[in-house]
């Protein structure tokens, strides 16, 4: 086993974060951090040490191909730790790479450390209620929680190329189409008006969208409205399995406030909620609460805003 610590992400910004994590782990084991690129050199890649370009498959290959390519080089170099950015792609690459190498895999980890025998870190579980300490014996594959490390800014000190040749894939990419830009950008919205199952029918979302517009805010929702009922596109859904938001004001309308929802909005600056049930858990996560019917309150708030011009 070498003392090399790999950092990889298909996303450049995430790669810079993972590179910082690799530098930290490498320092702990007196090893060497190496930033990986698959397919072709990216140009602007940052690395706290060397970079390694894995040639063979194209740059935008599916996760299965990337993990096969990384696996071939890993069998030769035998890195102590492989750190991969926990993007959707990265999670797939990591699990498949760990299986190929028959090593342990830790997911969504921050605060990494190593004593040369194991790699340890912290992982948020139960919708943010608990921080679990996790560890795996070396060698190991770890996905690094996005946003948990600063981006490295140093240019690489050298670069190496490994050609792994062609990688077969059962998945053939025939065509790529750009996903249409989402109609909402909840992550940067200062005000979010969010609708839940308290809304009785799809058409009623109109008045809530109208209120959101009048407040110069964005429209969010709980998961049932997007995933179960399909009333709104997925990008509106806030929570554990949706978007995590931190607006200045989060107005929850007819949302009960289950853990899976509050996990995505609990860091909002001010939370206000309207709910007919005085015992709804959302009130525990709120700075202001109104026990009342959203069908009365939404038009009333809208009217009050209109009268202010
Ligand atoms: C693995 C997993 C992941 C999940 N991830 C997410 C996630 O990311 N995001 C998410 O939101 N959920 C998620 N869920 C679902 C979550 O557990 C809840 O079921 C969901 O958040 C409930 O949505 P809700 O509050 O809109 O509906 P409900 O729980 O049905 O609540 C509706 C609320 O509206 C109130 N109400 C009814 N009528 C009115 C009215 N006229 N005026 C005012 N209030 C009214 C009721 O009192 C009630 O409190 C997940 C579940 C699982 C199992």
Condensed to tens digits (0 to 9), the pLDDT of residues 63-77 reads 999 999 999 999 999
| Global confidence as pTM | 0.71
Q: Does ligand 1 come within 6 angstroms of the Cβ of 274? A: yes
Q: Is the pLDDT of residue 179 over 80?
A: no
Residue 305: closest CA among 231, 176, 197, 207: 207
Residue 133: which pLDDT band, with cuts at 50, 70 and 90? very high
Rounded Cα distance between 112 and 28, Å, is: 10
Q: Is the pLDDT of residue 170 over 90?
A: no
Q: How long, in residues, is the chain?
A: 309
Q: Is the pLDDT of residue 204 over 80?
A: yes
**Mapped to the 3 state alphabet, what secondary structure does the chain carry?**
CCCEEEEECCCHHHHHHHHHHHHHHHHHCCCEEEEEEECCCCCCCCCCCEEEEEECCCCCCCHHHHHHHHHHHHHHHCCCEEEEECCHHHHHHHHHHHHHHCCEEEEEEEEEEECCCEEEEEEEEHHHCEEEEEEEECCEEEEECCCCCCCCCCCCCEEEEEECCCCCCCCCCCCCCCCCCCCCCHHHCCEEEEECCCCCCHHHHHHHHHHHHHCCCEEEECHHHHHHCCCCCHHHEECCCCECCCCCEEEEECCCCCHHHHCCCCCCCEEEEEECCCCCHHHHHCCEEEECCHHHHHHHHHHHHHHCC
Cβ contacts of residue 175 below 8 Å, gap of 6+?
none
Rounded Cα distance between 105 and 96, Å, is: 10
Look at phi and psi of residue 269 and say left if phi exceeds 0, alpha if psi is from -120 to 50, else beta: alpha
Residue 185: which pLDDT band, with cuts at 50, 70 and 90? confident
Q: Is the pLDDT of residue 256 over 90?
A: yes
Ligand 1 pocket test target in 127, 198, 227 with most atoms within 8 Å of CB: 198
Instruction: Share the mean pLDDT of the chain.
Output: 93
**What's the confidence (pLDDT) of residue 184?**
77
Q: Order the strands of the 104-114 sheet from edge to edge.
A: 130-137, 118-125, 104-114, 140-144, 81-85, 4-8, 32-38, 50-55, 158-163
Mean pLDDT, rounded, for 209-223: 96
**What's the confidence (pLDDT) of residue 238?**
95
- Phi then psi for residue 249, to 5 deg, are -135, 130
Q: Whose CA is nearest to atom 8 of ligand 1?
A: 239
Ligand 1 pocket test target in 127, 224, 266, 290 with most atoms within 8 Å of CB: 224
**What's the confidence (pLDDT) of residue 150?**
93
Residue 111: which pLDDT band, with cuts at 50, 70 and 90? very high
Q: Does ligand 1 come within 6 angstroms of the Cβ of 264? A: yes
Ligand 1 centre and the CA of 302: distance in Å?
A: 24
Q: Does ligand 1 come within 6 angstroms of the Cβ of 244? A: no
Q: Does ligand 1 come within 6 angstroms of the Cβ of 162? A: no
**What's the confidence (pLDDT) of residue 58?**
85
Mean pLDDT, rounded, for 255-283: 96
For the CA of 277, the closest atom of ligand 1 is 47
Mean pLDDT, rounded, for 178-207: 90
Residue 84: which pLDDT band, with cuts at 50, 70 and 90? very high
Ligand 1 centre and the CA of 157: distance in Å?
A: 51
**What's the confidence (pLDDT) of residue 183?**
67
**What's the confidence (pLDDT) of residue 309?**
67
Condensed to tens digits (0 to 9), the pLDDT of residues 140-167 reads 999 999 889 999 999 999 889 999 998 8
For the CA of 255, the closest atom of ligand 1 is 25
Residue 45: which pLDDT band, with cuts at 50, 70 and 90? confident
- Phi then psi for residue 84, to 5 deg, are -130, 135
Ligand 1 centre and the CA of 87: distance in Å?
A: 26
Q: Is the pLDDT of residue 98 over 80?
A: yes
**What's the confidence (pLDDT) of residue 257?**
97
- Phi then psi for residue 30, to 5 deg, are 50, 45
């Amino acid at each position: 086993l070498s003392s090399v610590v790999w950092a990889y992400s298909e996303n450049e910004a995430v790669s810079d974060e993972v590179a910082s994590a690799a530098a930290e782990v490498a320092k702990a084991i007196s090893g060497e951090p190496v930033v990986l690129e698959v397919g072709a050199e990216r140009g602007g890649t940052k690395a706290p040490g060397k970079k390694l370009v894995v040639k063979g498959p194209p740059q935008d290959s599916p996760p299965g191909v990337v993990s096969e390519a990384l696996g071939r080089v890993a069998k030769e170099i035998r890195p102590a730790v492989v750190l991969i950015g926990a993007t959707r792609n990265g999670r797939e690459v990591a699990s498949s790479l760990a299986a190929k190498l028959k090593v342990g895999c830790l997911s969504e980890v921050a605060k990494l450390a190593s004593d040369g025998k194991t790699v340890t870190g912290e992982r948020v579980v139960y919708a943010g209620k608990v921080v679990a300490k996790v560890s795996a014996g070396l060698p190991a594959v770890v996905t690094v929680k996005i946003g948990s490390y600063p981006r490295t800014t140093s240019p690489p000190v050298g670069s190496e190329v490994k050609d792994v040749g062609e990688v077969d894939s059962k998945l053939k990419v025939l065509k790529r189409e750009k996903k249409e830009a989402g109609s909402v950008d909840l992550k940067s919205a200062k005000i979010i008006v969010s609708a839940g199952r308290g809304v009785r029918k799809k058409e009623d979302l109109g008045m809530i969208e109208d209120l959101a517009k009048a407040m110069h805010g964005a429209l969010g929702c709980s998961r049932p409205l997007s995933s179960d009922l399909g009333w709104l596109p997925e990008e509106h859904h806030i929570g554990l399995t949706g978007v995590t938001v931190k607006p200045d004001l989060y107005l929850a309308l007819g949302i009960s406030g289950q853990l899976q929802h509050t996990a995505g909005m609990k860091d909002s600056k001010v939370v206000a909620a309207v709910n007919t049930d005085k015992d709804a858990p959302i009130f525990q996560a709120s700075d202001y609460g109104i026990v009342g019917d959203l069908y009365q309150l939404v038009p009333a708030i809208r009217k009050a805003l209109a009268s202010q011009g």
